[in-house]
Structure formats: structure tokens, C-alpha cells
């Protein structure tokens, strides 16, 4: 009896070895099979990874209606029947939409060999489903091993697999069927089924993303499971794990190189500039959405018009919920909700068979004229240019999202926005500016409309659920986002107040175009009088808006000595003026003094450093022949004074200017938008020369009194 117990297993091993030779399996005998009814981005990614590593594969069911588990297994049975007697063929079955291969066939077969005498290997995971009660029937495993079967991936000899999947007429639920096959000791032994407990081949991401690291072998980034200390090849991310798979897809399967960076950026490009006939360029519909008051809206439109794309191949749709400039009245608009308007834009593109739909919200400023051409070149279903609020981490994409569907930062988010990693990246959420491929819209309709969530969140959700990807590209600095949070359109000139929220745009509009030339190393700043420096400061538009603000406010002091605005209530040398405190611009002007004036001051008055510069009195002065037309000689209560000309001498007024008595030197031909900077006390006694005609406006700051 004891002899039988020893000999029986030996006999079984001999039979197995006779049927399945022990020599290494030829990689040509490995065949990857999957069932897919249609192609989407997930499917194309799966196929790409197979091609990258040179796998032979067969996809079953393409063109059929969406399949359930029962139909899938029937399709697999019908197609594997031709391999049912093949004792050498190795079949690797997996999902076709949420899987990425990360190593080649030889690597997989070596791992399969290491699991012998197994003839069928199933992927494993840490969760027992769909029936948790079955966990008690599973064999125990080591502390760093995965105990429960996952039916999404398995591999083995074709004849065994065919016999296994035909052992029951109808397989209505793959997970339940294969779980019961494995838990039944007789069937488990019959086909020598084992679980890939260490994730040597199959890595299911459900609840396991924190186990993974992404080291590199040379340029090739691969997945290492630090928990099981394995290097899995077939990475699976079904259900809630799809976002983890999408995150990994930016690096694995030769999409990223540690030396070259983004590799997938160089694939499947479409260079529209190679088309000589501009009338043959793709037709692009641009959907513009102005959903709330937005500063610097004029510049938003100007940048659209500067796009390097043939205007005859653009069509503009606009949804406007706020007052905008009159010249927009001719543009097509929709009297609908935001979600309905966005959905209508998709419908228009579908109806007209446009080639691309470019969505552009009013807060998205496209600074790079080639942005549209670059997005088309990426040749993706949906691609967005990365846009940031300048100086902030706020962007137009999410790197990750929580289980509840809200924003969550991904590990690589900061690398993206700081341009430490540049390229094309699969992300779960994009907004404000993105390009949708029109051919995609002919076969699928993304959804914006949902009363419970924001339109952009709904759009991204509908794309993710359908297996379509959204990419962000940061290969160039494409533009930036406007901050509308505190934009107050009740103000007379609301953009004047935006220097804190939108300093980039404020400077683009209001800084003098020659200001930065004055800061160049070898630049010589004009000196019309001794120690009086003259420099380009603020733009023509600033001076217009500033004067309009003050005249509309219209609470001029009347040049009275008694002045309740001052701490002492008395002004020795009064002017007809309005203080910045009166119009709510005092803090804004102090910022201007520090950020814009101080660099000039440190260049001309070397050795003097006061940071931040202090200025209690910042005011606009108005000189008129019939009111105050001049100012008597005086010293300013300042270390240095800034005097900005707000309108044109000889055009808006005659006469006027400033005379420095000690030097008998006058500056009369003042330049609009230019400022004089002079010492305040002691050396520069000066007077305001009489204005004989018109109105002269100046802006004065007494810095460091």
C-alpha cells in the first residue's frame, strides 16, 4: 500500500511529461486571445502593447454587438476549437480593453515554465468575489502572496483550456465558473490549475496600486510589485482600477523613456502643415463658452484670431451668458444652459461632419499661435493643452480623482505643471480647452447634460466609462488660465483691479511695451534734468482707463488746504486730486511700486534699497486753466517721487510740465505713459508749470516719506 502511494504520483508525472515535453516552449507557440466587440482607446492601447513586444494575437468578436460573459465564452470556444488538440500551443486569454503588456513573450513563457507542473495558470488577487463566502474554501497562501482567483486573465495549454471552457454548456459568469473549477479539487488536479500567487505574470490592480513601483531597465520602464517581489507582465485594471492602469500607461510599454522622455508623443502624428492646399486642411469648429464675467476678454478673442490656422477652415460657435463687446453680436450663439450649449456644439459638429471640435472657455487664453496645429498633430481622441493659473498649481486637468469622483492630486501632477516631465499624458479629467476628434464624434456622443454634476465633470465621466482617453500635452507653453474668482464688474474699470488675481494679463495690457528695455543691462535711462530719470512705465490703455475711472468717480479735492483725507487734516501744498484710497486702488498701487517701479529705482539710485517701498500718498492730479493750473515751488515729502504722465502734451493740453529750480531745468514735453523719478527732499525743489489750455493729468507717488 505504501508503495502505491509513492508510485501513483510518479506515474502521473510521467504521463504529464509524456504529453507535455519539458523542453523550453517556443515563443511562436504563445498566442494571446481576447474578445472585443468594438475598438476604443483602451483596445488600441492593448493592441499597441502587444505589437511593441512582438506577441502573436487573435481578437474575436469585432463588429458584433456588445457581449456579456456568456457570449464571450461562447465566442472563445468557437474560435479555440481549432486548437483543441494542440498539445504545444499556449493560449493567454485576457481582457481586450483594460490590459497592458509590459514584457515580451519569452519573459512570460519563462514565468509560465517556472510554475510547472501547472498546465493552466490564473491571475490572482487579494479580494474574493463575487461570493465572499467562498474565501474559506481557498487554499492558504504565504503572507506575501495573493490567494483568490481573478478570471480576467489566464494562460495554459490550448487543449486543456479548451477542455476546461467546454466542460459546461453555458458559462453565464466567468468569475463564478472559473472559481468553482479551481475550488473543485478534482478539476483543479485534472488540469493542473494554479494561481499566479506572486503576480509573476498577471497583475490585477484592484486594491493593489500601492504595491507597485516603476523602476527602469535602461530606457524601459517596467512594473515591480514590491509586496510579492515580482515583475508582472500582464497589467489588468478593470472597474475602479481603470484610473490606476491609465496612470501607469503614461510610463510602461515603452511610452516613456528615462533618457528620452515621452515616447508615445512621437507616435501616430498628423502634421497638417504638410497639406499644401489650405482648403484641404481639416475643418475645425471652435466652441467658445463665456459662462461668467471674465476679465481680459478682449485679449481672449484676439488670441483666437492669431491662431496660425486658415480662417476659412474655422467656424465659431459661441455661448454667452454675460455682457460682452458689441463686435461679438454677429457670432452664432445659443440661448440655452451651459450643458445644453456644450451638447449642441457636439451636435453641430456631428451634423456637419466637422473634423475637429475645439472647446475654449473664456478663462482659457491660448498664448501660443501654433496651439491648434500642435493639438491636431497629437492625433488623439481628446487632447488638451496644459494651462495653468500663472504662479499657481491650479490647472485645466486632474491627475487623479477620488472614489467619490472629486479632484485628487496624482504623484506626477507637480512634475507635469512644473515641466519636469514633458509630453503627452493620459489623465482622468480635462476642462476649459480641449480638442475632440470629429471622426470619433461620428461613432460616439459624449455627454455634458446631468442635473447633478458640472458639465465638464459629466463629459469626462462619459468618456472614461466608454473607454476613451483624455490626454494633456505640455510639450509647449500653450497658454494660461484666467482667475475670475474676485472679478467685480460693478467697478468702473474692473480690469484695473486685477493685478493681484491676474498679474500676467494685467501687465500684458497695462505695462508699457518698452518697460523691459529700460531694465536691460546696457540700457541707458534718460535724464532730462540732473538726477531726474525718465522711463517708460504704463501703457496708453492704462492711462485712458485710469483717467476714465477718476473722472467717473469725480470726487476731486478742489486743491483745498483743509483735507479730511489726511491724518493731520491739512495740506500745505494742495492739488486738485483724488487719492488711490478713495477708489480702492491703494494696495494695488503699492504692489506696482514694488514690482514695477522698484527695479528701475534700484538701477538709477544705486545703493538705496527699501523693500517694500512705502507710500501713503498716491494720487492723481488734474490741472485746468479755470481751476488749479499750476503748483508753487515745493519739496515732496518723500525719499523719491514718481510722476506719471497720463495724457499727451501739445495734444490734450498746452503748457504744463515740471521745473526744477536749483538746476533751472524743465521737463515740458512729457510723454504719455512715461514717468519721471526724482529725489523728493532737499535737492529737488520743483514747481508745476501753468497749463494754458485743456486738461493735464498726472499720477504721483511719494515713496518712503
Cα gap 291→184, rounded to integer Å: 61
Cell numbers found for residue 265: 508623443
Grid look-up 469626462 returns: 460
Residues 6+ apart with CB under 8 A from 371: 307, 385, 476, 478, 479
Cα gap 149→124, rounded to integer Å: 5
Q: How far is CA 13 from CA 7, 17, 21, 44, 201, in A?
A: 10, 6, 11, 42, 24
Cα gap 596→292, rounded to integer Å: 30
Cα gap 434→472, rounded to integer Å: 9
Closest CA to 70 of 211, 225, 174: 174
Q: Which is the catalytic residue, given 198, 342, 389, 696?
A: 696
Cα gap 288→272, rounded to integer Å: 23
Grid look-up 460657435 returns: 317
H/E element holding 338?
A: helix 338-352
| Strand 397-398, strand 400-401: pairing | unpaired
Collapsed DSSP state (helix, strand, coil) of residue 277? coil
Residue 92, phi then psi, degrees to nearest 5: -115, 110
DSSP 131-175: -GGGGGGSPP--TTS--EEEEEEEEEEHHHHHHHHTSSS--S-HH
Cell numbers found for residue 364: 482659457
Q: Max alpha carbon distance in the chain (Å)?
A: 129
Half-sphere exposure of 8 (CA within 13 A, CB side): 5
Terminal Cα-to-Cα distance of the chain (whole angstroms): 110
- Catalytic annotation present for 696: yes
Q: Is the peptide bond before 130 cis (omega within 30 degrees of 0)?
A: yes
Using an 8 Å Cβ cutoff, are 691 and 654 in contact? Answer: yes
Closest CA to 665 of 687, 650, 680, 638: 687
CA dihedral sign of residues 255, 260, 261, 265:
negative
- The length of the chain is 705
Cα gap 40→38, rounded to integer Å: 7
DSSP H helical ranges for 22-68: 41-53
Q: How far is CA 206 from CA 98, 124, 150, 210, 574, in A?
A: 12, 11, 10, 10, 75
Using an 8 Å Cβ cutoff, are 494 and 295 in contact? Answer: yes
Using an 8 Å Cβ cutoff, are 458 and 447 in contact? Answer: yes
83-118 burial, b for 16+ CB within 10 Å, e for fewer?
Answer: beebeebbbbbbbbbbbbbbbebebbbebbeebeeb
Residues forming the active site: 696
Amino acid at each position: 500500500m505504501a508503495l502505491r502511494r509513492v508510485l501513483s504520483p510518479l506515474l502521473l508525472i510521467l504521463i504529464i511529461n509524456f504529453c507535455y515535453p519539458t523542453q523550453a516552449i517556443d515563443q511562436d507557440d504563445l498566442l494571446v486571445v481576447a474578445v472585443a466587440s468594438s475598438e476604443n482607446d483602451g483596445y488600441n492601447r492593448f493592441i499597441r502593447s502587444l505589437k511593441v513586444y512582438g506577441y502573436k494575437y487573435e481578437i474575436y468578436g469585432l463588429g458584433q454587438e456588445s457581449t456579456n460573459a456568456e457570449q464571450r465564452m461562447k465566442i472563445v470556444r468557437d474560435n479555440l476549437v481549432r486548437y483543441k488538440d494542440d498539445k504545444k500551443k499556449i493560449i493567454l486569454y485576457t481582457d481586450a480593453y483594460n490590459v497592458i503588456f509590459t514584457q515580451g513573450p519569452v519573459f512570460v513563457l519563462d514565468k509560465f515554465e517556472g510554475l510547472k507542473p501547472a498546465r493552466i495558470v490564473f491571475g490572482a488577487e487579494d479580494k474574493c468575489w463575487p461570493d465572499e463566502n467562498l474565501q474559506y474554501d481557498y487554499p492558504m497562501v504565504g503572507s506575501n502572496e495573493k490567494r483568490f482567483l481573478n478570471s480576467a486573465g489566464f494562460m495554459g495549454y490550448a487543449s486543456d483550456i479548451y477542455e476546461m471552457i467546454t466542460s459546461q454548456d453555458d458559462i453565464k459568469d466567468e468569475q463564478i465558473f472559473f472559481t468553482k473549477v479551481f475550488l473543485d479539487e478534482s478539476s483543479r488536479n485534472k488540469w493542473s490549475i494554479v494561481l499566479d500567487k506572486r503576480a509573476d505574470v498577471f497583475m490585477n490592480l484592484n486594491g493593489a496600486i500601492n504595491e507597485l513601483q516603476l523602476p527602469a531597465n535602461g530606457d524601459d520602464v517596467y512594473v515591480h510589485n514590491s509586496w510579492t517581489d515580482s515583475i508582472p507582465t500582464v497589467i489588468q485594471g478593470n472597474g475602479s482600477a481603470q484610473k490606476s492602469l491609465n496612470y501607469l500607461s503614461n510610463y510602461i510599454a515603452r511610452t516613456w523613456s528615462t533618457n528620452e522622455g515621452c515616447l508615445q508623443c512621437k507616435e501616430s502624428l498628423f502634421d497638417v502643415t504638410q497639406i499644401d492646399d489650405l482648403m484641404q486642411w481639416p475643418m475645425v469648429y471652435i466652441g467658445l463658452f463665456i459662462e461668467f464675467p471674465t476679465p481680459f476678454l478682449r485679449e481672449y478673442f484676439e488670441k483666437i484670431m492669431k491662431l496660425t490656422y486658415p480662417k476659412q477652415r474655422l467656424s465659431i460657435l459661441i455661448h454667452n451668458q454675460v455682457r460682452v463687446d458689441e463686435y461679438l453680436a454677429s457670432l452664432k450663439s445659443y440661448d440655452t444652459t451651459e450643458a445644453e450649449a456644450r451638447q449642441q456644439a457636439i451636435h453641430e459638429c456631428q451634423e456637419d461632419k466637422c473634423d475637429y471640435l475645439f472647446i475654449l472657455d473664456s478663462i482659457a487664453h491660448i498664448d501660443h499661435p501654433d496651439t491648434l496645429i500642435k493639438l491636431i498633430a497629437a492625433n488623439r481622441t481628446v487632447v488638451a493643452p496644459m494651462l495653468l493659473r500663472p504662479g499657481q498649481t491650479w490647472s485645466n486637468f486632474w491627475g487623479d480623482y477620488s472614489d467619490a469622483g472629486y479632484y485628487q492630486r496624482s504623484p506626477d501632477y507637480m512634475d507635469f505643471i512644473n515641466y519636469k516631465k514633458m509630453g503627452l499624458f493620459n489623465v482622468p479629467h480635462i476642462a476649459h480647452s480641449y480638442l475632440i476628434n470629429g471622426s470619433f464624434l461620428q461613432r460616439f456622443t459624449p455627454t455634458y447634460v446631468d442635473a447633478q454634476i458640472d458639465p465638464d465633470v459629466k463629459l469626462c465621466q462619459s468618456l472614461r466609462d466608454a473607454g476613451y482617453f483624455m490626454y494633456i500635452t505640455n510639450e509647449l507653453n500653450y497658454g494660461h488660465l484666467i482667475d475670475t474668482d474676485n472679478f467685480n464688474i460693478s467697478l468702473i474699470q474692473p480690469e484695473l483691479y486685477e493685478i493681484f488675481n491676474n498679474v500676467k494679463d494685467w501687465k500684458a495690457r497695462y505695462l508699457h511695451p518698452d518697460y523691459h528695455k529700460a531694465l536691460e543691462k546696457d540700457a541707458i535711462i534718460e535724464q532730462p534734468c540732473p538726477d531726474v530719470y525718465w522711463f517708460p512705465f504704463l501703457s496708453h490703455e492704462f492711462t485712458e482707463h485710469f483717467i476714465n475711472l477718476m473722472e467717473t468717480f469725480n470726487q476731486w479735492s478742489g486743491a483745498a488746504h483743509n483735507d479730511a483725507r489726511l491724518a493731520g487734516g491739512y495740506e500745505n501744498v494742495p492739488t486738485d486730486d483724488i487719492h488711490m484710497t478713495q477708489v480702492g486702488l491703494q494696495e494695488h498701487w503699492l504692489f506696482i511700486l514694488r514690482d514695477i517701479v522698484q527695479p528701475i529705482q534700484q538701477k538709477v539710485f544705486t545703493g538705496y534699497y527699501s523693500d517694500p517701498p512705502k507710500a501713503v500718498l498716491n494720487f492723481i492730479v488734474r490741472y485746468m486753466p479755470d481751476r488749479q493750473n499750476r503748483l508753487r515751488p515745493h519739496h515732496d515729502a518723500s525719499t523719491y517721487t514718481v510722476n506719471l504722465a497720463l495724457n499727451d502734451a501739445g495734444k490734450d493740453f498746452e503748457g504744463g510740465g515740471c521745473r526744477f529750480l536749483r538746476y533751472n531745468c524743465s521737463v515740458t514735453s512729457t510723454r504719455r505713459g512715461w514717468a519721471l523719478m526724482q529725489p523728493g527732499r532737499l535737492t529737488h525743489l520743483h514747481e508745476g508749470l501753468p497749463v494754458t489750455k485743456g486738461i493735464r493729468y498726472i499720477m504721483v507717488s511719494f515713496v518712503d516719506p
